[in-house]
Each structure stands twice: as C-alpha cells, then as structure tokens.
Amino acid sequence: MKVLVTGANGYIGRHVVHALLQQGHQVLAADVNLDGMSDEVQKITADVFDFRPGLFQRMGEPDVCIHLAWRDGFKHNSDAHMANLSSHYQFIRQMTDEGLKHISIMGTMHEVGYWEGEIDENTPCNPMSMYGIAKDALRRAVFSAYAQKDTVIQWLRAYYIFGDDGEKSNSIFGKLIRAANEGKKTFPFTSGKNKYDFISVQELGEMIARASTQDEVRGIINCCSGKPVSLGEQVEWFIKENGLDIRLEYGVFPDRQYDSPAVWGSAEKIRKIMAV
C-alpha cells in the first residue's frame, strides 16, 4: 500500500516508518524536518496545514494516511493543543473530500482523564489536560462527521511510551538519561506507585503500522500491552537496563491529580490485528 505518515520524523513517526518499510509498504513521509529520514521513503516537505485546493495530491495521493503530526505532545498544557485543533480537523476533512479513503489518527489515553481500571472503546472520557481535551474533541468531531460515510476511520489510542529515549527526549526516561550524564546521583520523583500500561516505542510503531494497513478492525484501537505496571518498577527497570548510576528520590513531587492509581488499555483489538 502507499502510506502517508504525517509527523514522520517525530519520536513515534520514525518507528512507524521503519515498521511500514519492513512490512513492504511504499511510504510517503511528511514532516517539517526530514533530516536523517531513510532514502527508502518519498519525502514530502509540504505543510499539512496548507489548505489550498489539491492537498491530497500534494501529499502523494496515498491509499492510507497515518496522522501522527501534533505539536507539544509531551507538554500537556501547551496552548498549541487548542490552537491547532481546528487545523487537524480541516486536514482530515480536506484529505478525505479530495480522495483519501482510509485514515488512522493518533490518540492518547489522556483523552479519558481520571479512570481506574481497564480502558476500552466505550470508556467515558473526561480529559483533565489541554492535550487530552484537544485529542478528545478531535476524536468526537471526526467520529460524528464520518458516522454515515464509507471512509475507514481508526483512532489509535496510545498509552505510556518508553524507549529510544535520547538526551533530547522530553519523557521521564530522557530526563533520567540527561541527569545521569550530568553526573547527578539522585533524581527527584513521585511516589512511583501509580500503575500504567507501558509500551516500547518500537512495538508501538509496529502496532500502528499493522493496524493502519488493515480495514477489518476500525474505530478506537488501543495500542497497548494490556498490563498495568507501577511507574517506580518501570523506571527502576529502565535505570538498570541502561546502566545508569543514579537512584530515584521517591516522594519529592506529588502525583499528578489526573493520574489514576491504576489504569491500562484493553488489548483485545490490537491482539486480533497482530495475530493475523
């Protein structure tokens, strides 16, 4: 298939592109900066928010679009989330109006807000950050607009991502690496007791690629492990796995008010997809 990936050179996008190439697809990679992107892809530097007529053609007329592009994903209360919301919706509408038949859109468990237990596609959403609010609004708008249309719509809901955490990463794992490289011996931390659904960015990339290039399973698809693990346990594992000479200083920061004691995704749909 000919697959367009927006945000292709981002943290998740690089791994989605790699997985698509491994699966034998033709990849159209769109991003504001494509430095270091594989020569195996067709590089598209056109602005995805350039809404002149012909957007679908400028994007290479793909069979499928995986829409990952999103500013400030790790900054949950950035003004960019709401500022760009209508542009993301307009991108989706114009692409499908001009010929796109299948689109997969990156979601987040932060759409749900505070929830204890397993999250499935019917779990009610009450987001508590600007990031979650914007993603929730986009999902609702898209599902409402396409309820009576033949377009294949998939909402790929991600959970807690780790891996590929270099010094530029804004995740807690990237911050740990920076602190260790600066010679710090302790790292201020929360209680570490909250349990989350962790997934490596490499595995997430493969899930996104596989889910987006089939059309039997649609709607909200949790890209997750389906298993809750405590934050402390996961971070201690990361420290050991990477040989970092640093220890966690528990209890310095309070747990975020919108984080549940234990939350994880239902993996039923993604397991069905990955098993094919």
pLDDT of 26-36, one tens digit each? 999 999 999 99
Would residue 233 count as lying in a domain? no
Q: Could you tell me if 107 and 46 are in contact, meaning their C-beta atoms sit under 8 angstroms apart?
A: no
Would residue 152 count as lying in a domain? yes
Which 3 state secondary structure label does DSSP give 133? helix
pLDDT above 60 for 111? yes
Alpha-helical runs (H) found in the chain = 13-22, 55-58, 80-83, 85-97, 130-145, 172-181, 201-212, 231-241, 268-275
The full length of the chain comes to 276
Stated pTM of the model: 0.92
pLDDT band at 166 (very low <50, low <70, confident <90, very high): low
Q: State the pLDDT at residue 168.
A: 54
User: Active-site residue among 131, 159, 160, 196?
Assistant: 131
Query: What does the pLDDT look like over 175-230, one tens digit per residue?
Result: 899 999 999 999 999 999 999 999 999 999 999 999 999 999 999 999 999 999 99
Would residue 81 count as lying in a domain? yes
Q: Which of 17, 271, 61 is nearest to 164 (CA)?
A: 17
Q: State the pLDDT at residue 171.
A: 78
**Which domain CATH number covers 203?**
3.40.50.720
Would residue 10 count as lying in a domain? yes
Q: State the pLDDT at residue 169.
A: 65
State mean pLDDT over 10-27: 96
Amino acid at 258: Y
Would residue 231 count as lying in a domain? no
The per-residue pLDDT of the chain, averaged, comes to: 94
Q: b/e map of 145-177 (b: 16 or more CB within 10 Å)? A: ebeeeeebbbbbbbbbbbbbbeeebebbbbebb
Q: Is 160 annotated as catalytic?
A: no
The percentage of residues in the chain with a pLDDT greater than 70, rounded to a whole number, is 97
Q: State the pLDDT at residue 132.
A: 96
pLDDT band at 162 (very low <50, low <70, confident <90, very high): confident
The CA distance from 48 to 52, in Å, is: 10
Q: State the pLDDT at residue 118.
A: 97
The percentage of residues in the chain with a pLDDT greater than 90, rounded to a whole number, is 88
Would residue 114 count as lying in a domain? yes
pLDDT band at 249 (very low <50, low <70, confident <90, very high): very high
Domain containing 115 equals 2-161+198-226+267-275
pLDDT above 90 for 54? yes
The CA distance from 40 to 18, in Å, is: 10
pLDDT band at 167 (very low <50, low <70, confident <90, very high): low
> Total structural domains in the chain?
1
> Can you tell me which residue has the tokens 């290039």?
213
Q: State the pLDDT at residue 260.
A: 84
Would residue 237 count as lying in a domain? no
Q: State the pLDDT at residue 165.
A: 62
Would residue 181 count as lying in a domain? no
Q: Who has greater pLDDT, 197 or 170?
A: 197
Q: State the pLDDT at residue 255.
A: 84
pLDDT band at 257 (very low <50, low <70, confident <90, very high): confident
State mean pLDDT over 242-248: 95
The CA distance from 130 to 152, in Å, is: 27
User: Distance of CA 256 to CAs 33, 114, 169, 210, Å?
Assistant: 33, 10, 20, 33
Q: State the pLDDT at residue 191.
A: 95
